[in-house]
Structure 1
Amino acid sequence: MTSSDRERLRATFTEDAELYDRARPGYPPRMFDDLTGMVGLGAGCRVLEIGCGTGQATVPLARRGCRIVAVELGPQMAAVARRNLAGYRDDVQVLDAAFEDWPLPAEPFDVVFAATAFHWIDPAVRVERSAAALRPGGALATVATSHVAGGTEGFFVEVQNCYERFDPKTPPNLRLSTADEIVEDDEEITRSGRFDAATFLRYEWELHYTSAEYLDVLRTYSGHRALQPAARRDLLHCIEHLIEHNYEGGITKRYLTELRVARRRK
């Protein structure tokens, strides 16, 4: 992805923050329990969250008593996050800023955390700035979510016809990878020399969607939002028709959530 593509696509998320907050799936609760055990989340733990969105991952951290500074590029997203975190005003600060430009505070953090956001940060600076924000021995924890094979498998084969018809960037005969085929990747972190080898934890889970719910999720994805309006309308209509007529109005999607944790070298 070029830097211009990254800037253009990541800007689409703030266009409808309320839809994003309502439609996007959260994260497995067990992931936060595991992260707590690994890095010591709890009262007094200082956390810097990169790209908090509407606070879907921030709220579980706040419930554990963490002191959080959350940096969010989109002002509309940040506004919804502040609303969702209103009960934690003493411990959580949500800032409108791009992580690449935000001046790091003098006091270091115990954890730098990014949930489905780290890949949107400029790769030239994201690891180095994360290391600079951490105390020695502090943890960089990133979460990646992938759509993997499983769920209503027939639908995800058939729906490719809709994408190939209305999205010209769709590779022909594209098929989903299994969770086992998605490689654990800490090359960028290891290459920096600032972190020890990463630990990976993985969670596979499924969500059932009505056709309306599934279309709402798709409307939050940057690739769909970047389509021309007519193409997006026709694509979503094609998908809706497929779900309603071939799958009795609902489908199940299988997710892989991957937690990657690396300690800053002392």
Structure 2
Amino acid sequence: MATVFGEVAGSYDEARPGYPPAVAEAILAYHREVPRRLVEVGAGTGLATALLAGLGAPVTCVEPDPRMAAVLAARHPEVEVVVAPFEEWTPPPGGVPALACAMAWHWLDPATRCRRAHDALAPGGTLAVLAHRYDYVDPAQGAALRAAFESVDPDRRTDPREGWFGEEIAASGLFVDVRTESLRRPVPLTTAAYQRLVSTFSPQLRRPPELRERVLAAVGAAVDGFGGTVTLDLRTTLVLARRPR
């Protein structure tokens, strides 16, 4: 499933919301200086790459899907792009000063991701893992949209706990100074923009084409019923941790 998003590589970057500048500020403050190099795992089309490159460090992006990697390389020619799963990527001798993963930690092998991240880092290196959680500012809009989804596809999917990856990283015992920061912002979307966003979600990409169209029609009708705009309550969790020296 880590390569399912290549199907929508062309629209992924436009449809998905990016990251607030405070994320980069928090990483820089935690690391205490501009990293000599930063590696981004599961970089996709580069939504977080632009923010991370702004730190001023040379960036290497590791992305398993060649379709996503092609979009990433075209949009961010300033970064090095390695087309490989994280599990097959070999870090440089001595490790890297900083390793980041945005919206992709759950796609990495759960049995090895903490150990691989630890081993990829230089002693004292910084791990930064971040993810969005999508909700709705107006509970009535949220209830109506959930009902719209379920009216077409009653197979309900339960999201993991918010910030679960921070608990996992801390529990691994491989890192020290584990910190979690939460950022929250409203994101208004038109009907068409919301449908584009839904089209990039993995549950939607798992559905057969006919069911995808029915889902988009149902959620589009729901947003039209609000006057053509839905406001997301976008919550971003950033977990920072350090490999012991």
Alignment correspondent of 1:100? 87
Which AA in structure 1 matches 2:6? T
**CA distance in 2: counterparts of 1:85 and 1:40, whole angstroms:** 25
Alignment correspondent of 2:27? 35
Unaligned 5+ runs, structure 2? none
Alignment correspondent of 1:12? 4
2:49 maps to 1:58: yes
Alignment correspondent of 1:137? 124
Which AA in structure 2 matches 1:209? L
**Between Structure 1 and Structure 2, how many residues are aligned?**
245
**CA distance in 1: counterparts of 2:27 and 2:183, whole angstroms:** 13
Per-residue Cα deviation, 1:136-156 (whole angstroms, up to 9, x for no partner): 1111110021113x4232121
Give 1:67 deviation, angstroms.
Answer: 1.3
Unaligned 5+ runs, structure 1? 1-7
Q: Is the 8 A contact 1:145 1:258 kept in 2?
A: yes
Alignment correspondent of 1:209? 189
**CA distance in 1: counterparts of 2:72 and 2:182, whole angstroms:** 26
Give 1:160 deviation, angstroms.
Answer: 2.0
2:242 maps to 1:263: yes
Give 1:228 deviation, angstroms.
Answer: 1.6
Give 1:103 deviation, angstroms.
Answer: 2.0
Percent of aligned pairs with the same amino acid: 32
User: Residue 225 of structure 1 is aligned with which of 200, 205, 209?
Assistant: 205
Per-residue Cα deviation, 1:76-112 (whole angstroms, up to 9, x for no partner): 11111111112x2xxx211110001112221411111
SS class of match (1:194): coil
In angstroms, what is the RMSD of aligned CA positions?
2.0
Which AA in structure 2 matches 1:140? L
**CA distance in 1: counterparts of 2:179 and 2:169, whole angstroms:** 12
> Following superposition of structure 1 onto structure 2, how do residues 1-266 of structure 1 map, counting pairs within 5 Å?
8=1, 10-40=2-32, 42=34, 45-86=36-77, 88=78, 92-148=79-135, 150-170=136-156, 182=162, 186-244=166-224, 246-266=225-245
* Runs of 4+ in structure 1 over 4 Å off: none
- Taking structure 1 as the reference length, the TM-score comes to 0.86
Q: Is the 8 A contact 2:24 2:55 kept in 1?
A: no
**CA distance in 2: counterparts of 1:183 and 1:102, whole angstroms:** 26
